[in-house]
Chain A
Amino acid sequence: MAKRRRYTRTPIVRPKKYCRFKKSGIKYIDYKNPDFLMAFINEQGKLLPRRITGTSLKYQRKIAQAVKRCRHIALLPYVADQMK
């Protein structure tokens, strides 16, 4: 006889995400600083979604702009296999 399976859902407690720009009062994102922008792209060099980084929409737009500028001046790759 098959064992009866019970599905109980345990609530997952996760720390609340926050927008780091709002929290530390950063108004401008420097496109000349690839090390900083690394935090917002995955290992293929693609932009990470807001739902992962927790960034607010306003600053996500600025990040996207900064990353694109950084790519243009060849400080970040457009495509990469393993960059981290």
Chain B
Amino acid sequence: MAKTNYESVVVLTPVLSEKMMQEAVSSFEKLITENGGELIHKENWGLTKMAYPIQKKTTGFYQIFEFAAEPDAEIVDKLELAYRRDEQVLRYLCLKLDKHAVKYNERRRNGEFNKPKKADAPEAAKPAPKEKAAPVAEAKVETASNEEED
């Protein structure tokens, strides 16, 4: 059976030392490879500020794994169980990647986007329409008030 690509993001507590963090990461890696998973890519964002506090912590170590595995191997179940048992893990997210996501991740790894960490190819195209939307709304209000003055 064809292998499926998975992606897993795990947020580790910031109280760990760099070494402890690396150890935790390598233990998860080992779990993936030992269960017949093929690690495609891993990424460490280091200590990153979170948008809201989790367990009274405002930062966390972000680690991303991308791996291919047989769906029958139940590797995600095992990984999630390990995450839940590990007190160092603040948050985790495991996903099955569809074909578009696989393609996107490949391009991202090859650095086809401006910033390797968080950038999207169409970034330049994005803000323009957004800004356009606001003036339109204002213009509408203006014309409305003009009508009343007439």
Q: Are A28 and B101 in touch, CB under 8 angstroms?
A: yes
Q: Are B147 and A7 in touch, CB under 8 angstroms?
A: yes
In the complex, what's the smallest C-beta–C-beta distance from B45 to chain A, in angstroms? 9
Q: Are B11 and A28 in touch, CB under 8 angstroms?
A: no
Q: Are B125 and A74 in touch, CB under 8 angstroms?
A: no
Does chain A have a CB within 8 A of B143? yes
Q: Are A12 and B143 in touch, CB under 8 angstroms?
A: yes
Flag the segment in B24-32, B34-42, B74-82, B129-137 that touches A: B129-137
- Whether A33 touches B100, Cβ cut-off 8 Å, given contacts A8-B147, A53-B133, A74-B52, is no
Does chain A have a CB within 8 A of B64? yes
Q: Mark A1-40, 1 if CB is under 8 A from B, else 0.
A: 0000111111010110110100010111010111110010
Interface size on B, residues (CB 8 A): 38
A-B contact pairs, 30 of them (CB 8 A): A7-B147, A7-B150, A8-B150, A10-B143, A12-B140, A14-B136, A15-B136, A24-B122, A26-B120, A27-B100, A28-B98, A28-B103, A30-B108, A32-B64, A34-B51, A36-B118, A36-B123, A39-B126, A53-B129, A69-B93, A72-B93, A73-B11, A73-B91, A74-B51, A74-B90, A74-B91, A75-B50, A76-B51, A77-B51, A78-B52
